């Protein structure tokens, strides 16, 4: 586990770093700052001298309320919040290099509202790239993804007025085959689609399945069409690089141009901590030239956004360090293994990627009332579900999994044809 930037820092070390960062931001109390349409949080409501803030650098950041509008890994940024922008830059660089094997200094990125925004940012960049560099017309551009892909990708297609071509997955192992990709691409080409934005999943929402990028790349090359590849690691980005260091869904793979992560999933950060990472030279395609009042211009979807979100990600990463995180991930994988062994004993059919913490069980084995009691999530809320999932997060203990296994066993005894 060679890490360039990622290490564990004590609470005191973190506090010192964040205190310095906040001191390098504009101080609304002591300096003159006439032009910004914002301030620290309302003093009447969020009293900035409250004693508990002394030991809580994240809360102090919320009260200081830095704005991280724009992208801080590229060109210049708003000087008012330069101190905390620096910590966001550290987060982007650390994740690009230590999680996703980029060369130092080779990636841009920003903290987005969530995985949805980061996924839309990717499609926005590549659509504009195909239009500007290859004279593509909207109807000639398509998103290419598996049918297990998160719906935010369909949202991106709709917002950006481009096609979405979904490749059906294998029902059992949730994989995409070359034949299925080839058939989908051939159909798209017959509809004059020439430019593809590929979304590879590092952890699908319902199954935690991992896509093989070479399946897409091989077939796209055979068809001699233009493509760019994005990795949706919104769910898996904070587990799979740790549990599967041999993964090829990263920047060491020349096929991969950008990645979505969500710190508000596996990293347990506050909501508003999606992350978009891209190789340098791409963010520019999302530049809004009209954003002239923003220093350094805006290449993001968000506009104004809280700098406290970047600080929360920074703190979690540096609180654990790579070894603390390895232990945490392995604890979750251990619990997942434990549950899978129980399901095997009960002869229940389920899908689980061996390096992921999602178990997706065929709905026929799980009475709806049992699924509701244990807060399982179905694949379809509107009609009869085909699957129910368990996501083994920090709060999902073996005690709870044991209770579920016992009650599932009891219900199966009443339906012996399933067991």
Ligand X SMILES: Cc1ncc(COP(=O)(O)O)c(C=O)c1O
- Which residues contact ligand X by CB under 6 A? 114-116, 119, 150, 152, 203-205, 232, 234-235, 262, 274
Residue 290 C-beta: closest distance to ligand X, Å: 26
| C-alpha distances out from residue 390 to 173, 341, 346, Å | 17, 14, 16
Q: Report the nearest approach of ligand X to the CB of residue 68 (Å).
A: 17
Distances (CA, A) of 123 to 142, 146, 154, 297, 322: 9, 15, 10, 20, 31
Nearest to 71, CA basis, from 90, 85, 50, 54: 85
Alpha helices in 306-373 (DSSP H): 307-345, 368-373
Cβ nearer to ligand X, comparing 14 with 204: 204
> 351 and 375 in contact (C-beta within 8 Å)?
no
Token output for 53: 């803030």
- Strand 274-279 with 107-112, pairing: antiparallel
Pairing of strands 256-262, 226-233: parallel
203 phi-psi bin (left φ>0, alpha ψ -120 to 50, beta other): left
Q: Which of 69, 67, 63, 39 is nearest to 49 (CA)?
A: 63
- Closest to 277 measured CA to CA, from 28, 411, 89: 89
Outline where 292-306 has alpha helix (H): none
Coil/strand/helix, residue 181: helix
CB of 260 to ligand X, least distance (A): 6
In terms of CB distance, is 77 or 302 closer to ligand X?
A: 302
CB of 116 to ligand X, least distance (A): 3
Shortest Å, Cβ 111 to ligand X: 12
- Least distance from C-beta 296 to ligand X, angstroms? 25
Closer CB to ligand X, 66 or 203, in the complex: 203
Nearer to ligand X, 202 or 329 (CB): 202
Question: How many angstroms separate the CA atoms of 89 and 71, rounded?
Answer: 9
176: buried, middle or exposed (CB in 10 Å: 19+, 13-18, 0-12)? buried
State the number of CA atoms in the 13 A half-sphere of 397 facing the CB.
3
Closest approach of ligand X to the CB of residue 151, in Å = 8
* Residue 302 to residue 310: CA distance in whole angstroms: 14
Query: Least distance to ligand X from the beta carbon of 4, Å?
Result: 27
Give the nearer residue to ligand X in terms of CB position, either 205 or 253. Answer: 205
Comparison of 121 and 262: residue with beta carbon closer to ligand X: 262
How near is the Cβ of 107 to ligand X at its closest, in Å? 20
């Amino acid at each position: 586990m060679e890490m360039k930037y990622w290490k564990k820092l004590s609470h005191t070390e973190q506090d010192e770093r964040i205190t310095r960062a906040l001191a390098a931001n504009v101080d609304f109390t002591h300096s003159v700052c006439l032009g910004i349409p914002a301030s620290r949080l309302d003093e009447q409501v969020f009293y900035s001298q409250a004693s508990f803030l002394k030991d809580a650098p994240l809360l102090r950041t919320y009260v200081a309320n830095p704005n991280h509008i724009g992208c801080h890994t590229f060109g210049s940024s708003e000087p008012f919040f330069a101190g905390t922008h620096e910590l966001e830059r550290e987060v982007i660089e650390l994740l690009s290099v230590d999680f996703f094997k980029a060369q130092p200094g080779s990636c841009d990125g920003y903290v987005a509202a969530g995985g949805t925004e980061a996924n839309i940012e990717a499609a926005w960049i590549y659509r504009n790239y195909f239009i500007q560099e290859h004279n593509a017309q909207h109807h000639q551009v398509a998103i290419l993804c598996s049918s297990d892909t998160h719906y935010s990708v369909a949202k991106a297609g709709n917002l950006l007025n481009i096609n979405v071509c979904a490749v059906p997955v294998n029902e059992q192992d949730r994989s995409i085959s070359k034949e299925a990709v080839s058939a989908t691409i051939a159909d798209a080409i017959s509809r004059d689609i020439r430019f593809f934005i590929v979304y590879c999943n590092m952890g699908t929402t319902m199954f935690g399945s991992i896509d093989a990028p070479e399946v897409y790349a091989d077939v796209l090359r055979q068809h001699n069409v233009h493509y760019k590849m994005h990795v949706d690691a919104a769910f898996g980005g904070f587990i799979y690089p740790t549990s599967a260091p041999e993964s090829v869904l990263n920047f060491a793979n020349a096929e991969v141009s950008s990645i979505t992560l969500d710190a508000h999933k596996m990293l347990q950060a506050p909501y508003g901590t999606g992350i978009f990472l891209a190789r340098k030279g791409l963010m520019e395609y999302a530049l809004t030239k009209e954003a002239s009042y923003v220093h350094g211009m805006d290449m993001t979807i968000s506009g104004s956004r809280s700098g406290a979100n970047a600080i929360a990600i920074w703190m979690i990463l540096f609180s654990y360090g790579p070894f603390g995180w390895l232990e945490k991930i392995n604890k979750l994988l251990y619990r997942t293994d434990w549950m899978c062994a129980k399901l095997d004993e009960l002869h229940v059919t389920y899908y689980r990627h061996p390096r992921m913490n999602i178990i997706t069980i065929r709905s026929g084995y799980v009475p709806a009332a049992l699924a509701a009691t244990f807060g399982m999530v179905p694949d379809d809320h509107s009609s009869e579900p085909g699957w129910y999932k368990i996501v083994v997060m920090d709060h999902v203990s073996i005690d709870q999994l044991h209770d579920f296994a016992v009650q599932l066993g009891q219900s199966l005894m009443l339906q012996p044809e399933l067991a």
